[in-house]
Amino acid sequence: MPEFDLHTLWPMVITGGFVVGFLVGMTGVGAGSLMTPFLITKIGVAPALAVGTDLLFASITKASAAWPHHNFGNVNWRLVGWLALGSVPGSVAMLVVLHLLNPDTAALAHFIKQALVAALVLSSLAILIYPFVVRGHAHVGEPVEIKVRRLPTTLLGLTLGSIVTLTSVGAGAIGVVILTLLYPMLRTRRLIGTDIVHAVPLTLVSGLGHMSIGNTSFELLGLLLVGSIPGIAIGSRLTGILPDWLLRIFLAMILCFAAYQLSLKL
């Protein structure tokens, strides 16, 4: 049973959902990277329950952005397929490991916190180096047909599936940076759209798997969505006001602060 009391903490949950949604709307990154640390450090949610609830939260929020990206032609469906070929089995494998090992709750919580700290730091670095990785790509003509690097793409999906299922972090910032390195000729908007669409089945499968072993709070999920949906809408409209470099530095600082807050609880 959850150790937190939503009857008294619901205003903080809705406010946190709004802030995270606002940042996701402005930057496109942070649903998993920000929400899980917030739930653990500020609400007092057990790490496994925070990850499971956040994965379903991420699947819903990313699904809302997937359809517009498809309509605008920002999705390479072949890449999505090869990524999912690795990420879905990777997610299932991690869930099976968690189920079969049935680790001690305290030990699992400690391990998830450690993995989260590492994933948050990597995500912050990925956000900062991404502009340098894609520099000049927007002006390069994209080939009519992109040759899929099947093995590296599937291995990337496998790695993301394992990391995301354990920590709920990595599908966004880390995935986009590595995709950029694998497919430098793919336009930035198509890289982002492809990554967002791929994250939908990954987070959904991971979230449903966590739900099957009891790591989901639907009451908590509902409150987060109440706050995040208007936050995403407002943040999306304000994207062009602040320069991209400032947003990236700001988000990277938030992720590092979240990692620091989690490290204090190790």
pLDDT of residue 144: 59
Please state, as a whole number, how many other Cβ atoms lie within 10 Å of the Cβ of residue 110.
15
| pLDDT exceeds 80 at position 152 | yes
pLDDT score of 1: 43
Please check the confidence at residue 137 and state whether its pLDDT lies above 70: no
Question: How many residues are listed for the chain in this entry?
Answer: 266
| Cα angle, residue 170 at apex, residues 168 and 171 outer, rounded to 5° | 90
Residue 155: per-residue pLDDT? 95
CA distances from 174 to 29, 80, 181, 194 (A): 10, 16, 11, 13
The residue-averaged pLDDT of 164-192 equals 80
Q: Give residue for tokens 């802030």.
A: 19
Whether residue 53 has pLDDT greater than 90: yes
Closest CA to 55 of 231, 200, 176: 200
Residue type (1 letter), 189: R
Task: Please enumerate in sequence order all residues whose Cβ is within 8 A of that of 20, keeping only pairs 6 or more positions apart, or say none.
Answer: 30, 31, 34, 35, 38, 224, 227, 228, 231
Give per-residue pLDDT as tens, 20-51: 888 777 766 666 778 888 898 888 898 889 99
Structure-token pair, residue 186: 């793919």
pLDDT at 157: 94
Provide the residue type at 113 as one letter: K
Alpha carbon distances (Å) from 127 to 111, 130, 198, 241, 256: 24, 5, 19, 19, 11
Note the pLDDT of residue 37: 87
Query: Would you state the pLDDT for residue 175?
Result: 81
**pLDDT for 240 beyond 70:** no
Taking residues 209-221, report their average pLDDT: 91
Reported as a single tens digit per residue, the pLDDT across 56-113 is 998 888 887 777 778 878 889 999 999 999 999 999 999 988 888 776 667 777 888 8
Residue 87: per-residue pLDDT: 95
Q: Which tokens in the block code for residue 71?
A: 């309509």
pLDDT score recorded for residue 222 = 93
Phi and psi (nearest 5°) for 149?
-85, 90
Residue 99, Cβ density class (10 Å: 0-12 exposed, 13-18 middle, ≥19 buried): exposed
User: Global pTM?
Assistant: 0.82
Query: Residue by residue, what is the 3-state secondary structure of 78-145?
Result: HHHHHHHHHHHHHHHHHHHHHHHHCCCHHHHHHHHHHHHHHHHHHHHHHHHHHHHHCCCHHHCCCCCC
